Chain A
Amino acid sequence: MMRFLFLVILCWSFTCNAQNTAIAPGEKLVYTASYNMSGILNDIAQVTMETSNVQTSKATLLRLKCTAATYSKWDNFFKIRDLYESYVNPKTLTPYLYKRNINEGSYFKAMKYTYSHKTNTIKSVQTKKNNQVQNKDFTFNAGSNDIVSTLYKLRTLDYETMRVGQQKTIHVIFDRKETKGYITYLGKETLNTAIGTKTCYKISIGSDSKALEGGNSNLLWLTADANKIIVFGKFKIPVGNGELKIKSASGLKN
């Protein structure tokens, strides 16, 4: 599921600081994740993406939360309960704190990044089973994002001004490494989804990492409206391929 989320989410961090006009607190997007087994797609998990405001004494931040949970029929085989969070600036989606809690059967891993944008450093704390704690500080390039804020940040891009085939380079921080990724705008397509027929921006995602297969195998469709929500995704990883389909959407900003 780690890889799955990575590939679904993996993409870019933009060097430009796009303003958020698409994401509001109180938004909830629910997806069904399917995995291809012998040519037949099987629904394996529900992925939920929620936003909410978080008030500190200094500022109000936006909490971006992603959860992945296997459907009950799979729980006896491999139970997944993953939580990804990013606390970001509500206007620019600049991350300040990232937390990841992976609970997959007998496998457990937690990760925390605390960003310092003044020094471009991240203090990370990794916790594994039996409380094995590992601290590591590392530097990051300005404009790099964690996986959750990256996913939301792609909704702040202005696709209308992009040419078909236009490519952007992106930087995503995952597992305490900065990965270079590429996004290609492939034009508009109309899709029938659970939330209606939508005209969508189609984009392709690639990376230098081995997590994603090459070519146009990893695709995302974002609604071609002011909300730019992801309604459909196709992914291909070394161990197989699958899809992500929207189930419901509520609390949208526009």
Chain B
Amino acid sequence: MKKLFTVLAIIASFLAIILAVLPVSNLAIIPSILALVFGLLAFYLSKKTGQVKKIIQFTFFLTIIALAITTYKALFSITEVADTQELKATESQSKEEALEELEDLEIEDIDIDTSELEDIEL
């Protein structure tokens, strides 16, 4: 049982570290909690037998690092859209092409009050 909990704690703590450094850092919370639970159980069982392995302490260390990274990213990382030059170029090109295509279309039933449009910058 002690071995099982130790192995599970190791797996969970490594998974927590991997997820913490990925964009899905929020997901690291789940393996972190599992790593802590398994680690504590392994620690308790080991203490009963009087021999606590260093690896259990190492899983705690990894878990704390994972939680620290996750918390930092949740609090301080800004979600922003970057590299939109290509999209803007596509938008502009698409609009130009659309204007040409619209000129060739038969547009009927449009009766616009142009007084509303005079203030609009085109």
Encode A99-114 as 1/0 by CB contact (under 8 A) with B.
Answer: 1010100000000101
Q: Are A71 and B26 in contact (CB under 8 A)?
A: no
- Cα of A54 to Cα of B103 in the assembled complex, Å: 11
A37 within 8 A of B: yes
CB-CB < 8 A to B75: which residues of A? Answer: none
B1 within 8 A of A: no
Q: Which residues in chain B, 2-16, are within 8 Å of chain A measured between CB atoms?
A: none
Encode B58-99 as 1/0 by CB contact (under 8 A) with A.
Answer: 000000000000000000010111111011001100110011
Q: Are A56 and B81 in contact (CB under 8 A)?
A: no
Encode A73-96 as 1/0 by CB contact (under 8 A) with B.
Answer: 111010101010101011110101
A153 within 8 A of B: no
Q: Are A97 and B112 in contact (CB under 8 A)?
A: no
- Cα of A114 to Cα of B100 in the assembled complex, Å: 12
Contacts known (A54-B99, A114-B101); A83 close to B80, Cβ less than 8 A: no
Q: Are A74 and B87 in contact (CB under 8 A)?
A: no
Q: Are B91 and A67 in contact (CB under 8 A)?
A: yes
Band of interface residues on A: 35 or more
A43 within 8 A of B: yes
Q: Which residues in chain A, 33-85, are within 8 Å of chain B measured between CB atoms?
A: 37-38, 40-43, 46, 53-61, 63, 65, 67, 69-75, 77, 79, 81, 83, 85
- Cα of A171 to Cα of B39 in the assembled complex, Å: 56
Distance to closest chain A CB from B104 (angstroms): 9
- Cα of A176 to Cα of B84 in the assembled complex, Å: 28
Contacts known (A67-B91, A71-B79, A72-B82); A59 close to B112, Cβ less than 8 A: yes
Instruction: Choose among B79, B114, B117 the residue with the greatest number of A CB atoms under 10 Å from its CB.
Output: B79
**Residue A40 contacts which of B26, B94, B98, B111 (CB distance < 8 angstroms)?**
B26
CB-CB < 8 A to B23: which residues of A? Answer: 42, 73-74, 77
Encode B98-116 as 1/0 by CB contact (under 8 A) with A.
Answer: 1101110111111110100
Q: Are B95 and A60 in contact (CB under 8 A)?
A: no
A26 within 8 A of B: yes
Distance to closest chain B CB from A58 (angstroms): 5
Q: Are A53 and B94 in contact (CB under 8 A)?
A: no
CB-CB < 8 A to B105: which residues of A? Answer: 96-97, 114
6 smallest A-B Cβ distances: which pairs?
A: A72-B82, A73-B23, A59-B110, A81-B87, A69-B81, A71-B79
Name B's A-contacting residues (CB within 8 A). Answer: 23-24, 26-27, 29-30, 77, 79-84, 86-87, 90-91, 94-95, 98-99, 101-103, 105-112, 114, 117, 120, 122
Name A's B-contacting residues (CB within 8 A). Answer: 25-26, 32, 37-38, 40-43, 46, 53-61, 63, 65, 67, 69-75, 77, 79, 81, 83, 85, 87, 89-92, 94, 96-97, 99, 101, 103, 112, 114, 116-118
List 20 contacting pairs A-B, 8 Å CB cutoff, sorted by A. A32-B79, A42-B24, A43-B79, A53-B117, A53-B122, A54-B98, A54-B99, A54-B102, A55-B122, A59-B112, A60-B112, A65-B91, A72-B82, A74-B23, A85-B98, A89-B110, A94-B109, A96-B105, A114-B101, A117-B108
